[in-house]
Chains A and B, each alone.
Chain A
Amino acid sequence: DTGVSQNPRHKITKRGQNVTFRCDPISEHNRLYWYRQTLGQGPEFLTYFQNEAQLEKSRLLSDRFSAERPKGSFSTLEIQRTEQGDSAMYLCASSLGGSASHEQFFGPGTRLTVL
Chain B
Amino acid sequence: AQTVTQSQPEMSVQEAETVTLSCTYDTSESDYYLFWYKQPPSRQMILVIRQEAYKQQNATENRFSVNFQKAAKSFSLKISDSQLGDAAMYFCAYSGETSGSRLTFGEGTQLTVNP
Chain A positions within 8 Å of B, measured between CB atoms, are 3-4, 31, 33, 35, 40-45, 48, 55-56, 91, 93, 95, 98-104, 106-109
What are the 7 A-B residue pairs with the smallest beta carbon separation, nearest first? A42-B105, A100-B95, A106-B45, A45-B102, A100-B101, A100-B97, A56-B100
Q: A42-B91, A91-B45 are in contact. Are A104 and B100 (CB under 8 A)?
A: no
29 contacts between A and B (CB under 8 A): A4-B44, A33-B102, A33-B103, A35-B103, A40-B107, A41-B108, A42-B4, A42-B106, A42-B107, A48-B100, A48-B102, A56-B102, A91-B45, A99-B101, A100-B32, A100-B33, A100-B95, A100-B99, A101-B52, A102-B101, A103-B47, A103-B50, A104-B47, A104-B103, A106-B44, A106-B46, A107-B44, A108-B43, A109-B44
CB-CB under 8 A from B45, the residues of chain A are: 43, 91, 106
- The residue in chain B whose Cβ has the minimal distance to the Cβ of A98 is B101
Q: How far is the CA of A91 from the CA of B97 in the complex (A)?
A: 22
Chain B positions within 8 Å of A, measured between CB atoms, are 4, 31-33, 37, 43-47, 50, 52, 91, 93, 95-97, 99-108
CB-CB under 8 A from B33, the residues of chain A are: 100-101
CB-CB under 8 A from B50, the residues of chain A are: 101, 103
User: From residue B25, how far is it (CB to closest CB) to chain A in Å?
Assistant: 12
Q: A101-B33, A101-B50 are in contact. Are A43 and B105 (CB under 8 A)?
A: yes
Q: How far is the CA of A4 from the CA of B45 in the complex (A)?
A: 11
User: From residue A77, how far is it (CB to closest CB) to chain B in Å?
Assistant: 15
Q: How far is the CA of A103 from the CA of B45 in the complex (A)?
A: 12
Complex contact B103–A43 (CB within 8 A): yes
Given contacts A43-B105, A108-B43, 19 further A-B pairs with CB under 8 A are A31-B101, A40-B107, A42-B93, A43-B45, A43-B91, A44-B105, A45-B102, A45-B104, A48-B100, A48-B102, A99-B97, A100-B31, A100-B95, A100-B96, A101-B95, A102-B101, A103-B50, A104-B103, A107-B44
